[in-house]
Amino acid sequence: MKMNKATSVEEFKLVSSFESLRKTLLQERYSDRLDRPLAFWALPSDRRLPLAFLGRSIGELLNTPFADLNATPGIGQKKISSLIKLLARATRDEPPAVPFGVSDNEPAKAETSQREELPAGFDPMCVSEALWVQWRDTVRRLGLGYEKLGRLAPSLQELPTVIWHTPLDQYVDRTLDEIRNLKTHGEKRVRVVLEVFCVVHQMLVDAGPQDHLVVRLAPRFVVPIENWIRRWMDQPGVPSADEVLQNLANPLIEQLTVDAGETVIQLAKGRLGLDGPPQSVRTQSRRMGVTRARVYQLLDECSKVMGIRWPEGQAQLRALCEKVRAENADGKVDTKLLDATVELFFPRKYDALADADGDQDEAEPATQEFAEV
């Protein structure tokens, strides 16, 4: 008897919740959601989903008597509870901010924390179609579909090389389900794609259109370097080696710590002489016990990283170098570090890093993957 009473109480709560949500969702302000399928608000991490209802629209479910829903084959009390949970999500103006580990019952806190600082733990299994629609709409609204995944990804080490240059436009018209079913798009790749869209949305969700301004996204390290270059382009004189070290070489190396492996970082530092005298490729190959061709292959990662992170850098730095050569014709200022940094990260050709001691014949890039980086 006690079990029957408990069951009756639970059923009463479910009926009451359903009717309350039904009354809310049938209001005019929620009319845009009635044609959406219930699955639109489901998360990949949800458990005990009412599969029989996921393909049905919100409007259809709301117009079905609760007793009929409850009598659907395969639908028990726990799955009815999940139905109620999904309907509750549909009443929110903002989808639940759960990709960062915030629970559904803390929407206000989630919204505040996201706008202030993105937590480190991004969870793609907590992204609903509703949240994904918001992210891709932000990209579309601001005309950022031309931006490339590699330009905006938190780290290139987490992004397969083959999609570094893939524009966001490749994904803005696809549903989450369609993306997850794309060939070669496994869990790791989908995670990075979603995270890029999430970061863009969080930065720009409140950015309104302006007739005289446009949005430009750039990696954080780029702006200070560009400002430094612009300053020297607008004033007479030549930057000292210390200035080049602090404002160009070190920031580029720091970006490598985000985007490349430790081997590449140490080789780059050695070539520039940041931890001692500059090292030739011959010396580095002997120390590593590999061919010089392999060293060039690893160093080539520096230009590949900058090619996607800061493609504008090549023209800007070449212009600076030309100005420096013109104003330093007497050679009073040591510009070796500037030249070496530009040639390392933005080489004119693949043999630009060849040593003066006869390494030119092995300067062509190797074609194998950077699996050892």
Burial of 275 (0-12, 13-18, 19+ CB in 10 A): exposed
Distances (CA, A) of 186 to 168, 176, 177, 194, 245: 17, 12, 12, 12, 40
Domain residue extents for the chain? 2-90, 98-204, 222-362
**275 three-class SS:** coil
Question: Which pLDDT does position 121 carry in this prediction?
Answer: 67
Measured CA to CA in angstroms, residue 28 lies from 40, 62, 83, 130 at distances of 19, 14, 22, 19
**96 Cβ neighbours under 8 A, 6+ residues apart:** 89, 102, 104, 107, 110, 128, 131
Question: Residue 31's pLDDT is what?
Answer: 87
Angle at 120 between CA 302 and CA 227, to 5 degrees: 45
Which pLDDT does position 29 carry in this prediction?
A: 87
First to last CA, the chain: 68
pLDDT in tens, the chain (373 residues): 344 544 577 878 888 888 888 888 889 888 888 998 888 888 877 878 888 888 889 999 999 998 888 888 888 888 888 888 888 888 886 665 545 443 343 333 333 333 334 334 688 887 888 889 999 999 999 999 999 999 999 999 988 899 999 999 999 999 998 999 998 888 888 999 999 999 999 889 887 777 788 788 999 999 999 999 999 999 999 999 999 999 999 999 999 999 999 999 999 999 999 999 999 999 999 999 999 999 999 999 999 999 999 999 999 999 999 999 999 999 899 999 999 999 999 998 644 444 444 444 343 333 333 333 3
CB contact at 8 A, 170 and 150: no
Nearest 10 degrees: Cα torsion 81, 86, 91, 97: 120
Model pLDDT, residue 105 = 39
Q: From CA 351, how far away is CA 207, in angstroms rounded? A: 45
Query: Which pLDDT does position 7 carry in this prediction?
Result: 57
Q: pTM (2 decimals)?
A: 0.72
Contact criterion met (CB below 8 Å) for 128 and 42 = yes
Residue 357 confidence (pLDDT): 42
Residue pair 356/340 in contact by the 8 Å Cβ criterion: no
